[in-house]
Amino acid sequence: MNNMGAEIHHLASNQRNPGTPYHPEWVEEIRINRSAIERRIATLASRRTVKKQWQAAWLLKAIALIDLTTLSGDDTPGRVQRLCAKARQPVRSDLLAQLGMEKANLTTGAVCVYHEMIPYAAKALDGTNIPIAAVSTGFPAGLSPLKTRLAEIRASVDAGAREIDIVISRRFVLTANWKALYDEVAAYREACGEAHLKTILATGQLGSMTKIAKASMVCMMAGADFIKTSTGMEAVNATQPVSLIMMRMIREYMRLTGFKIGFKPAGGISNAKTALQYMVLAKEELGNDWLEPDLLRFGASSLLGDIERQLEHFITGHYSAANRHPMG
């Protein structure tokens, strides 16, 4: 990966990724050393994690990184409204007071819903700066006609979504048709307009670590603001080895272009300990900027409840029942 490209650009740290022309050589030169990836990930589990007040601070930060999500076929306006209420006040007020955070205006990073639920989320989040993220492009399979997928993006943006989580056509990755993938994602980016584009790779369906790395690079070249591991509905969702590969592609893209791309692991991140490991990995591989919601998000719902339980344990020394920390 170290030989890609001849020029290192000055960092454009506060600018949105505009994408680049398609560079086939950036894709062709990617090689992944699986054993080295696995050795690197093994160090995460073996090291001592942050403790006491430092852990509490990291957990509060993790809350601000959550895309609080409901993507069920039985979603209702009431469920979305309750979820938005939790996004606005993710931790019980008594716990925040004991942590000295009652005036911190802590919220989750976003609320993620289907298109049909955007109006209810918009009403429930009125007066806040919490963005609505809408899943789009025939989520989760991505097999509807391209014209329909593009119309879906535009409709969600018009309805108030500030972020669009799209799914790529996995067949382009599986057949190594990288230019087709680039053209597809570039069309999605254009349809998003000012809304940020988060490209879901569905890594559990892509076949190899090398294909995951190449798909990551192609999506960033095409203008993705974030690359995301999974829909949360595959048999295998976010894993730390896959996340490390994607983070290193983000690092390489930044070296080549100067633009910082966000990362979103999604699916299976349901406890605070796992979230902290992903945060440590992001800090070590990419830097402190990737501990902020404009560059790191978790696609999760149950994660928030466990973080709240861990914060209560820090304060009281006891774990409470999960029903003391409901989603709404």
Residue 215 lies in a domain: yes
What 3 state SS string does the chain have?
A: CCCCCCCCCCCCCCCCCCCCCCCHHHHHCCCCCHHHHHHHHHHHHHCCCCCHHHHHHHHHHHHCCEEEECCCCCCCHHHHHHHHHHHHCCCCHHHHHHCCCCCCCCCCCEEEECHHHHHHHHHHCCCCCCCEEEEECCCCCCCCCHHHHHHHHHHHHHHCCCEEEEECCHHHHHCCCHHHHHHHHHHHHHHHCCCEEEEECCHHHCCCHHHHHHHHHHHHHCCCCEEECCCCCCCCCCCHHHHHHHHHHHHHHHHHHCCCCEEECECCCCCHHHHHHHHHHHHHHHCHHHHCCCCECEEECHHHHHHHHHHHHHHHCCCCCHHHCCCC
Predicted confidence (pLDDT) per residue in 143-161, tens digit: 999 999 999 999 999 999 9
Establish if 18 belongs to a structural domain: no
Q: Output 222 or 6, whichever has higher pLDDT.
A: 222
Report yes or no on 3 lying in a domain.
no
Per DSSP bridges, beta strands 226-228 and 262-264 are parallel
pLDDT grade for 318, boundaries at 50, 70 and 90: confident
- For residue 17, is it within any domain? no
For residue 20, give both structure tokens. Answer: 């680049």
Residue 147 resides in a domain: yes
> Span 290-316, mean pLDDT?
94
Is residue 322's pLDDT more than 70?
Answer: no
pLDDT band at 7 (very low <50, low <70, confident <90, very high): very low
For residues 80-85, give the mean pLDDT.
97
Residue 40 main-chain phi, psi, to 5 deg: -65, -40
**Structural domain for 264, as ranges:** 24-324
As for how many domains the chain has, the answer is 1
16 part of a folded domain: no
Prediction pTM value: 0.93
Say whether pLDDT at 288 is over 60.
yes
Out of 165, 198, 211, 225, which one is annotated catalytic?
A: 165
Structure confidence at residue 323 as a pLDDT band (50, 70, 90): low
Residue in this structure with the two tokens 């008594």, named with its chain if needed:
94
Residue 170 in this model has a pLDDT that exceeds 50: yes
The one-letter code for the residue type at 169 is S
* The pLDDT of residue 210: 97
CATH of the domain at 135: 3.20.20.70
Confidence of residue 325 (pLDDT cuts 50, 70, 90): low
Residue 273's Cβ-count burial label (10 Å; 0-12, 13-18, 19+) is exposed
Catalytic residue check, 179:
no
pLDDT digits (tens, 9 = 90+) for 207-223: 899 999 999 999 999 99
pLDDT, tens digit (0-9, with 9 covering 90-100), for 87-142: 999 999 999 999 999 999 999 999 999 999 999 999 999 999 999 999 999 999 99
Q: Is residue 15 part of a domain?
A: no
Q: What percent of the chain has pLDDT over 70?
A: 93
Place 5 in a pLDDT band, splitting at 50, 70 and 90.
Answer: very low
**Is 19 a member of any domain?**
no
Cβ pair 106, 96 in contact under 8 A:
yes
211, 214, 228, 260: the active-site residue: 228
Q: Is 264 a catalytic residue?
A: yes
User: Active-site residue among 211, 225, 264, 306?
Assistant: 264
The vertex-160 CA angle with 231 and 135, nearest 5°, equals 10
Mean per-residue pLDDT of the chain: 92
In this prediction, residue 9 carries a pLDDT of 42
Residue tagged 């203008």 (tokens): 223
pLDDT at 3: 44
What is the mean predicted confidence (pLDDT) over 295-303? 93
The pLDDT assigned to 324 comes to: 65
- For residue 74, indicate whether it is catalytic: no
Which pLDDT value is given to residue 48?
Answer: 62
Query: What's the confidence (pLDDT) of residue 4?
Result: 43
pLDDT for the residue numbered 2 = 42
